[in-house]
Structure 1
Amino acid sequence: MYGLMQAFADLLDRLVLTPSRNGKLRLMMAYFAAAPDPDRGYALGALTGDLDIPGVKPAMIRDLIADRMDAGLFAMSYDYVGDLAETVSLVWPGDRRANRPPPLSDIVETLSGASRAEAPGLVAGWLDDLDTTGRWALLKLMTGGLRIGVSARLAKLALAQFGEKDVTDIEEIWHGLASPYESLFAWLEDRAEKPAPDIAAPFRPVMLAHPLVPKADRGNPDALDPALIRPDTFAAEWKFDGIRVQASAERGTRRIYTRTGDDISRTFPDVVAAMDFEGTLDGELLVRTTDGAVAPFNALQQRLNRKTVSKRQMETHPAFIRTYDILQDGGTDLRARPFRARRQSLEAFVAGLSPARFDLSPLVPVTDIAALDAARLAPPSPEIEGLMLKRWDSAYVAGRPKGLWYKWKRDPYLVDAVLMYAQRGHGKRSSFYSDFTFGVWRAAGGEDELTPVGKAYFGFTDAELKQLDAFVRANTIERFGPVRSVTANKETGIVLEVAFEGLQRSPRHKSGIAMRFPRINRIRWDKPTAEADRLETLVALLPD
């Protein structure tokens, strides 16, 4: 019995410590092969974020440890470790008892049937029975948010490789399945036919694009062949800065999916209410301004990741879908048809929908590569990231097929900023300061001061992370809970070259601006902090 829970704990522990994508796939495949039903099904639900255990919240875990440890000592431990589950697993007092904890499936099923009053005693008993790794895995399982570098998509890829099936076949039936997925595993192991749940408005795996100029070849003038792009071969569209979605309506069921198949329908009831059609559309979810233009991504963020949305939020941040493609028209599957034919069907289809909630992505004239490049670099709206190029003869193929669709984004903006604050990361980074807030100079009271303009936690190598972490530890001047303020003045500090996709005004930030997708492009060890950029430089980049 104990071995089943320990196997799950070992899986999570090894996934955290394995940076390689293929390595993570191998670990999950090995676990699926060795673990029995229903344990592996509940583990799968935890990995994909689809397992919900009621009655166990972080506040309950805090209460349990508060009864067993001095509050001040725990606060200092939590401040150092930076993760609730990891901290509690390390400081939980006492030796393990002789009792063996039940398998993963019994824990999930017992908690699912337990009352809010019964749950704390059950959890405390299991924590007493487990070792440190097992406690950590149990707490992660119960509170969600594993933070182990595994997305739902990666878990589905592991399933596909485990069962030697096409991942698109799994994605198309996923929303008709539920933990512990016994029918799914039976099919993957060729013990049963493929599950055929009766799903109305199913998710249809999306088609993705390749960069027109591969990242490794950027700056290489020979990387782009101008002869590739011709008006008789390719269509061009603007790439808007929203989130890619799929709107599917069938038999009275209406759903909005993200590109990875997550159902976000309840967050956008204003759009769902306008889906009075039978079919499936592919497009970009955006928010409209009062004058009918596309709002900055920051406005869309006010609507994302909410369990409920108020009438006021829908009025001030009205959402709509700018349609790119049509996959299903009534009972007719259009995916095998060429893009030219699908585009004609899309134009006719959208003409019958609410213009407030659905409109048509405009085509950009294709003449030659020079004209397209000029359009890419100077789009008509700041909310446009670049261009999408699609072959007129391309079928809608799930995944990222070669040679059919390309994305040609604008070059990122670059700014030299000074590191101001740092915070520990999560998971395998919980021992390092890896979340960095940076700022630029501005005049204040006749002198220059740094004002924060963004935060980044990726873009650097593991070796650079260790260098940055060492600098933070050696140059901490103040502590604000888990945040460290570091030396940052005209004489001392680190300059970070930050890349970002765009800027927008933000009254919530002291600087008055917010960055879109900031990441550390390189560390400017060679540059004096006094030569970092000024706020005026960024303000000049704001759209009029």
Structure 2
Amino acid sequence: MRRFADLLDRLILTPSRTTKLRLIGDYFAHTPDPDRGWALAALAGTLDLRAARPSAIRELIGSRTDPVLFALSYDYVGDLAETAALMWPEPAATGAGRNDPGVRLSEVAETLAAAPSAAAAMRSLAGWLDGLDTTGRWALLKLATGGLRVGVSAGLAKAAFAAWAKLAPEAVEEVWHGLEPPYEALFAWATGTGPRPDPRGLPHFRSFMLATPAELADLAPLDPSDFRAEWKWDGIRAQMVAAGGEIRLYARSGDEIGRGFPDLLDAWPFGEAAVDGELVVMGPNDQPAPFAELQKRINRRTVGAGLLKSLPAHLRLYDLLAKGGVDLRPRPFTERRAALEALVAAHPSPRFDLSPLVAFSSWAELDRLRADPPAATIEGVMLKRRDTPYLAGRPKGPWFKWKRAPLTLDVVLMYAQRGHGRRSSYFSDYTFGVWRDDDTLVPVGKAYSGFTDQELVELDRWIRRNTTERFGPVRAVAPGLVLEVAFDSVQPSPRHKSGLALRFPRIARIRWDKPAAEADRLETAAGLVAGSPAASVT
């Protein structure tokens, strides 16, 4: 456990991706099985210790220290594991077991995973906390809650494993979803003590082929006749796979998301196959609904009958990756597209359809079509070389995405919340709004990117000086700071008081120069809702 704690401590202080990869690889090289497998699961986010919930941990800490002092400290620090690790009382005497390296990561993971109740998990957790130093306690609590927040994503964790094992990242991704923590077969393959795990016969994930962003200047030297174009739909890129009697739905991250879309799984018509497409929900006009509607079905463990009926899931198909156990990815796009068209024609279903191709003869013609698409939920166009195979990752040249220009609004900062990890001491998450007719601000979105570290310091300083109310980790501020935000679209949203929500907002500029009264108004934002009159928002 001490070695894992040291790894997390170094990762959180290391901004360099290259250094993170090296640190994780060094941990794998010097840590035995199954500890390194449990560490990989924790870093990749596949370790779910259900009995160790944050609420139970807060209750445990409250039994060992002053609950008011803990609440105040937690409000200031903004991180449960860090606060609890610092405030956990030191034992009166240090016994032989204190900082004992025999308290293994595998013992912690296996005990918590098998705990019959939260109470049993907390008893085990308390014993380990008593035997660890501050860093060890912090790492243990990070592990237990699943919120490591040390700047390592699932993709980076798998990339670190691949680099250490000297394997291609796509080769690791190909077998990943057929394995379970602590990944002993994966490490056996990496060290040459076991065969490559065989995903055949399993509904395994295939690494997505991704497109390179492009503008007209990037495309001008290319021959338009070498490419085919499709609309870029505003949903979630998804992969659906059927094999071995199972059907799975994967997001681009590789996460299995089928639990939230049982209606799509039940409607699968294509037999043993793997397809790539855009996951959307359909509106009453049989067109993809805005992304805000899809969000109502994302990350749900169960979906009620009302949502299943009002927001039916749909997969708009882009590509055919495998059929009948045959891998089609090495074949050219035109051949895969023809096979996909034949498959859909042979097995028609209201839940699956083809993403239509866009006919064009020049880049100027496609530019005009891109600027005025036939549906509000189209973000731009995708361009694919006719002869390209389906390649994992983002190779430069075969595929391009040509999106519409982002929209912008001048908005007023309303609330700020502390961030996580190295931002936990700064107010870095910003809720902003626009003016309504009665000269009150109504929120339209939240952003936490687009600014530099120096700008973060300046924003944090301004927020502390202009706070009017406090709500736990959130501060309300006086309406005095204007932010220019860029975003992809505006969508109706009953969750916001304004009735609107910005899609993918990010801070483009901090308008220190602009009076808050001159920020944009609700009718301006409402006028940007594609296909909806501004008068429909009140």
**Structure 1 length-normalised TM:** 0.93
Cα distance between partner residues in 2 of 1:354 and 1:431 = 55
Determine whether 1:10 maps to 2:18.
Answer: no
**1:479-503 alpha-carbon deviations (Å, 9 max, x no partner):** 1221111121xxxx22111011101
Cα distance between partner residues in 1 of 2:32 and 2:233 = 45
Q: In the alignment, what sits opposite 1:462?
A: 453
Q: In the alignment, what sits opposite 2:498?
A: 511
Q: In the alignment, what sits opposite 2:536?
A: none
Q: Is the 8 A contact 1:423 1:433 kept in 2?
A: yes
Cα distance between partner residues in 2 of 1:297 and 1:225 = 28
**1:229-281 alpha-carbon deviations (Å, 9 max, x no partner):** 41x20000000011111111123211111122211112111011111321111
Q: In the alignment, what sits opposite 2:112?
A: 111
Q: In the alignment, what sits opposite 1:284?
A: 278
Deviates further, 423-432 or 57-66: 57-66
Q: In the alignment, what sits opposite 1:61?
A: 57
Q: In the alignment, what sits opposite 1:542?
A: 529
SS at match of 2:428: strand
Q: In the alignment, what sits opposite 1:216?
A: none
Q: In the alignment, what sits opposite 2:227?
A: 234
Cα distance between partner residues in 2 of 1:485 and 1:114 = 41
Question: What runs of 5+ residues in structure 1 fail to find an aligned partner?
Answer: 214-220
Q: Per-residue deviation at 1:197?
A: 5.0
Q: Is the 8 A contact 1:472 1:486 kept in 2?
A: yes
**Aligned partner of 2:363 among 363, 366, 369:** 369
**Aligned partner of 1:212 among 187, 211, 214:** 214
Cα distance between partner residues in 2 of 1:373 and 1:197 = 42
Cα distance between partner residues in 1 of 2:201 and 2:132 = 40
**Aligned partner of 1:97 among 83, 94, 99:** 94
Q: Is the 8 A contact 1:175 1:199 kept in 2?
A: no
Q: How does 1:117-196 map to 2 (within 5 A)?
A: 117-196=119-198
**Aligned partner of 1:48 among 40, 44, 65:** 44
**1:473-532 alpha-carbon deviations (Å, 9 max, x no partner):** 1111111221111121xxxx2211101110111122111101100111111122222221
Please provide the CA RMSD for this pair. Answer: 1.6
**1:353-392 alpha-carbon deviations (Å, 9 max, x no partner):** 3432100000111211111112222211121111100000
SS at match of 1:138: helix
Determine whether 1:252 maps to 2:239.
Answer: no
**Aligned partner of 2:26 among 30, 55, 58:** 30
Q: Per-residue deviation at 1:331?
A: 2.5
Cα distance between partner residues in 2 of 1:383 and 1:521 = 23
Change (3 A) 1:449 1:111: closer
Cα distance between partner residues in 1 of 2:340 and 2:357 = 13
Determine whether 1:487 maps to 2:474.
Answer: no
Change (3 A) 1:112 1:534: closer
Q: In the alignment, what sits opposite 1:347?
A: 341
Q: Percent identity?
A: 58
Q: Is the 8 A contact 1:283 1:325 kept in 2?
A: yes
Q: Is the 8 A contact 1:436 1:457 kept in 2?
A: yes
Q: Per-residue deviation at 1:452?
A: 1.7
Q: Per-residue deviation at 1:205?
A: 1.3
Q: Is the 8 A contact 1:327 1:333 kept in 2?
A: yes
Q: In the alignment, what sits opposite 2:436?
A: 442
Change (3 A) 1:425 1:104: same
Please tell me the residue identity of whatever aligns with 1:458: S
Determine whether 1:266 maps to 2:259.
Answer: yes
Q: In the alignment, what sits opposite 1:415?
A: 409
Cα distance between partner residues in 2 of 1:416 and 1:311 = 40
Q: Is the 8 A contact 2:201 2:244 kept in 1?
A: no
Q: Is the 8 A contact 2:414 2:431 kept in 1?
A: yes
Q: Per-residue deviation at 1:189?
A: 2.1
Q: Per-residue deviation at 1:148?
A: 2.2
Q: Per-residue deviation at 1:69?
A: 2.1
Cα distance between partner residues in 1 of 2:123 and 2:476 = 40
Cα distance between partner residues in 2 of 1:348 and 1:281 = 13
Q: How does 1:350-429 map to 2 (within 5 A)?
A: 350-429=344-423
Deviates further, 128-137 or 342-351: 128-137
Q: Is the 8 A contact 2:53 2:145 kept in 1?
A: yes
**1:398-419 alpha-carbon deviations (Å, 9 max, x no partner):** 1111210000111110111111
Q: Is the 8 A contact 1:366 1:372 kept in 2?
A: yes
Q: In the alignment, what sits opposite 1:218?
A: none
Q: Per-residue deviation at 1:30?
A: 1.5
Count of aligned residue pairs for this structure pair: 524
Please tell me the residue identity of whatever aligns with 1:97: T
Please tell me the residue identity of whatever aligns with 2:256: D
**1:1-51 alpha-carbon deviations (Å, 9 max, x no partner):** xxxx12111212222222222222122112111222111110001111111
**1:300-352 alpha-carbon deviations (Å, 9 max, x no partner):** 11111111212222111100100000011212221111111111111111123
Cα distance between partner residues in 1 of 2:332 and 2:199 = 29
Cα distance between partner residues in 2 of 1:338 and 1:44 = 36
Q: Per-residue deviation at 1:429?
A: 0.8
Determine whether 1:85 maps to 2:81.
Answer: yes
Q: In the alignment, what sits opposite 2:483?
A: 496
Q: Per-residue deviation at 1:198?
A: 5.4
Q: How does 1:262-341 map to 2 (within 5 A)?
A: 262-276=255-269, 277-341=271-335
Cα distance between partner residues in 1 of 2:415 and 2:219 = 44
Q: Is the 8 A contact 1:441 1:450 kept in 2?
A: yes
Q: In the alignment, what sits opposite 2:35?
A: 39
Cα distance between partner residues in 1 of 2:348 and 2:416 = 47
**Structure 2 length-normalised TM:** 0.94
SS at match of 2:360: coil
Deviates further, 109-118 or 326-335: 109-118
Change (3 A) 1:235 1:339: same
**1:106-160 alpha-carbon deviations (Å, 9 max, x no partner):** 1122233333243222111111111222112111111213222222111111111
Q: In the alignment, what sits opposite 2:535?
A: none
Cα distance between partner residues in 1 of 2:125 and 2:510 = 45
